[in-house]
Structure 1
Amino acid sequence: MSQLPPLSLYIHVPWCVRKCPYCDFNSHQADRFEDQGKLPEQAYLDQLIADLEVDLLYVADRPIQTAFIGGGTPSLMSADFYYQLFDRLRDKLNWVENAEITMEANPGTFEQEKFAHFRKAGINRLSIGIQSFQPNLLKTLGRIHNREEAIAAVDKSRLAGFENINLDLMHGLPDQSVAMALEDLKLAIELNPEHLSWYQLTIEPNTEFYRRPPTLPEDNTLWNIQDEGLALLEQNGYSQYEISANAKVERQAQHNLNYWRFGDYLGIGAGAHGKITLNNGEIFRTRKTRHPNHYLNNLPEALCIKEAIAPEDLPLEFMMNRLRLFEEFPLSDYEKYAYHTVPKELFESCQKAVRLGLLEQNAWRQGVIRTSEKGKLFLNELLELFLES
């Protein structure tokens, strides 16, 4: 067996102050489940480590390349929680030097006061959930910060020692014009983050927006927002390397790159997902129980559901991940990460994509997959070809 894929770690913190109407992530309003919103930090910390202990079976001697703390709102937890967490994680796992460790954070004043402690705990990248700078849109989105707090959060994170910052920003918001979307984007660029996650609002099932749909911009407006916004980002040194992510040179999110390149990742915490490759070539996904109370009150062995990826499903799984990235890659990467030879059906699907102009022909002649400009615009149509593989 050749070398196993790189390994990352995902940690899920499921609580938030208030559930946003567009959010379909595994997040739970803190005061609904615990005593007056007081989070059970020590119990959750202990269960995270117990959860990890079960997954250590799959680690072998692989070091952790990157870590990502998502939610919910991870920055709600205390600084002491993260000091203890990373002390214990360093005891259990090997880490590459200067591993990228990202935390999602809200821009509220309460969280800002803890930024310096988060940095000292070992977190070296912040992803700040701004979404918009405009008061009316923030209210519509259910956000509890304002424009001034969003700007201050970036300043505070710099003062705390963070040299790698991502800003989350949404577009295609209810009643949003092209000018409004570009105004948000221009202000985000002025704040000079290393990375910008700029993505369109989608209405997902099991959300308040799904039950009570807002009025979204028309398709022509959405197209113009996307077209003019991406041009603005490129002009300011933020290259699009993934469907909804732009970064300065060599500032791509390493955790995301490993994920989309079909690398492996452990997932611990309520609702966390993982993907693991074994030495025998088996690849499986893990899902941890979602509700925080259920997660806290069960033995670690009962928290996880394992689902093997059938060999016939690997081509679609692999391509759905790799084609989110706009980097070129050799088709031989399939054998490197999926541990199977390239099936005839996958090869034929690639050929068809080339004929349709969704993959670049010159790259294909050299055994390289490169999404064409047409393919980037019609990614769903490109991915559908691999349902046949």
Structure 2
Amino acid sequence: MPELSVAPLSLYVHLPWCKAKCPYCDFNSYAATEFPAARYVDALIADLERELPRVWGRQVHSIFFGGGTPSLFPPAELDRLLSAIRARLRLAPQVEISLEANPGAVDAAAFQGFYDAGINRLSLGVQSFDDGFLQALGRIHDARAAHLAIEALQKAGFDNWNLDLIFALPAQDLAAAQRDVQAALAHQPPHLSLYQLTLEPGTPFASQIPAQLPDADSAAEMEENLRNALADAGLQRYEVSAHARAGRQCRHNRNYWLYGDYLGIGAGAHGKITLAGQGIWRSRKAPRPESYMEAALKAKDSLGEGQWVPPAERPFEFFLNALRLLEGFDEQLFEERTGVSFLLVEARLRRALQDGLLQREGRHWRPTPLGLNWLNQLCRQFLPETGKTQSRPIASAS
């Protein structure tokens, strides 16, 4: 068996509250008009303290505040949290620190406060620039608020930021989807994440499907047209949903997709840590904020649950992530990050090569356009023989 190498390390911080729960959202988030921000930050710091023995001395290359709506937190509390993180972890000199924000849950003063606290990348959940579509999605902002938020974050000093857009919305046609992308491009974003609306199990949209959803052919036409427009504007697609200008790829997400390590703190946060000579440890914190805070502040030994990832499950996890990247992966990286011999997966990769889902250049493999379109089917080929995996697939941030 190849030796399992320690992967680059990131930190994910989950801030679970939002003003309203969107009907398409299946994230661990909770609607609230008020929440205990200071107490929650205390719990996060206590959580981090418990995790330190697993990552002691390792350098952190990126930090991501996800949610929920992290921009609801007072900048002073995030400043306090970042100070605590800096005092406990060794941060890379040019560490990327990202924060998710929504136009309806932030103002110009808050943007300036986040920037002054040391956050250097923002991800703005615009989703659409059309008031009708925003209302259909259950968003709390309108198009004007979205434009103002973009102007405010730039004025605060942010030059590294992302816009989230969703297409194939109820009653949306190609022309309307094009208008959304053109409205985004008018602001010249360094990074843009483009997602098709999906009906996630357990959400209101799944139980009561919106009327006039575009059919599969219409959605595919939209996607091809919109991605071409982004490429023409200098935003190159580098992952299934992510487009960026040169030098603006999201380093935090790239670490996920290359099967790197990440420490997860916060209610419902997931973590993956490689421990030399032991294996890969996956963890998940208690999902409910109150239960999480109570456990963290009462110094309980465990804030959630965890398990070792068996070698048989690591190839599926690796490919579930690495094959999202247009650049693909190297055979040596596979062995270093999984501790599994490449020979054990080569036959299945060759079948995918013959099926036109993958292409190969020497020891480097990458998905074809067909492989990207059929990514779920491609990844299923690497499930353990039982057809089951105990570790939850990674959901990327933006």
Q: One fold, TM greater than 0.5?
A: yes
Q: Which residue of 1 aligns with 2:363?
A: 367
CA displacement 1:112-155 (0-9 Å, x = unmatched): 33001100101000000000011111111111111111011111
The amino acid across from 1:140 in the alignment is A
Say if 1:54 and 1:300, in contact at 8 Å, map to a contact too: no
2:241 pairs with 1:239: no
Distance (whole Å) between structure 2 residues aligned to residue 337 and residue 264 of structure 1: 9
Does the residue aligned with 2:22 lie in a helix, a strand or coil? Answer: coil
Structure 2 residue 25 is the aligned partner of structure 1 residue 23: yes
Task: List alignment gaps of at least 5 residues for structure 2.
Answer: 386-398
How high is the TM-score relative to the length of structure 1? 0.94
Structure 1 residue 10 corresponds to structure 2 residue 12: yes
Name the counterpart of 2:104: 108
- State the SS of the aligned residue for 1:9: strand
- Distance in 2, Cα, partners of 1:147 & 1:45: 32
Cross-structure match for 1:326: 326
* Paired residues for 1:234-383 under 5 Å: 234-298=231-295, 299-344=299-344, 346-361=345-360, 363=361, 366-383=362-379
Contact 1:50 1:300 in 2 (8 A): no
CA contact (8 A) 1:68 1:255 kept: yes
CA distance in 2, matches of 1:304, 1:109: 29
Q: 1:334 to 1:134 in 2, by over 3 A?
A: same
- Greater displacement, 352-361 / 130-139: 352-361
Residues 373-382 or 225-234, more deviating: 373-382
1:3-61 deviation digits (Å, cap 9, x = unpaired): 51000000000100011111110110114xxxxx2x21221111101101111111031
Structure 1: runs of 5+ lacking an equivalent: 32-36
Equivalent pair of 1:10/1:267 in contact (CA under 8 Å): yes
Q: Encode CA deviations 1:87-120: one digit per residue, 9 max, x unaligned.
A: 1111111100120100000112743330011001
The one-letter code sitting in structure 2 at the alignment partner of 1:116 is Q
Q: 1:82 offset after TM fit, Å?
A: 1.1
- Is residue 2:203 matched to residue 1:207? yes
Alpha-carbon spacing, 1:300–1:112, altered in 2? closer, same or farther (3 Å): farther
**Alpha-carbon offset, residue 343 of structure 1:** 4.2
Conservation of the 8 A alpha-carbon contact between 2:267 and 2:286: yes
Deviation at 1:302, TM superposition (A): 2.9
Deviation for aligned residue 1:359: 1.1
In structure 1, what is the Cα distance between the partners aligned to 2:102 and 2:321?
28
Would the aligned equivalents of 2:96 and 2:121 in 1 still touch at CA under 8 Å?
yes
In the alignment, which residue of structure 2 is the partner of 1:227? 224
SS of residue matched to 2:382:
helix
**Amino acid aligned to 2:266:** G
Give me the CA root mean square deviation. Answer: 1.4
- Alpha-carbon distance in 1 for matches of 2:41, 2:216: 45
Distance 1:221 1:101, change over 3 A: same
The alignment partner of 1:271 has SS state of: coil
Q: Counterparts of 1:82-97 in structure 2 under 5 Å?
A: 82-97=78-93
Kindly, what percent of the aligned residue pairs are identical?
42
* Preserved contact between residue 18 and residue 29 of structure 1 (Cα < 8 Å): yes
Q: Is the 8 A contact 1:127 1:165 kept in 2?
A: yes
C-alpha distance in structure 2 between counterparts of 1:382 and 1:25, whole Å: 25
Contact 1:197 1:245 in 2 (8 A): yes
Secondary structure in structure 2 of the residue aligned to 1:265: strand
Pick closer, same or farther for the CA change 1:300–1:75 going to 2, 3 Å.
farther
Q: What whole-Å deviation, never above 9, does each CA across 1:189-244 have from its counterpart, x for those lacking one?
A: 11111100110110111211112110211112101101101110111111111111
Q: How far apart in 2 are the matches of 1:300 and 1:105?
A: 32
Q: How big is each residue's C-alpha offset from its partner over 1:327-356, in whole Å with a ceiling of 9 and x where there is no partner?
A: 132111111111232242x11111111111
C-alpha contact (below 8 Å) 2:27/2:67 kept by paired residues = yes
CA distance in 1, matches of 2:280, 2:148: 44
> SS where residue 283 of structure 1 aligns?
strand
Aligned length: 379
The one-character-per-residue Cα deviations of 1:45-83 (angstroms, maximum 9, x if unpaired) are: 111011011111110311110010000010101011011
2:51 matched to 1:47? no
The answer on whether the counterparts of 1:281 and 1:339 sit within 8 Å (CA) in structure 2 is: no
218-227 or 300-309: which moved more? Answer: 300-309
Q: CA contact under 8 A between 2:63 and 2:97: conserved in structure 1?
A: yes
Distance 2:207 2:355 in 1: 38
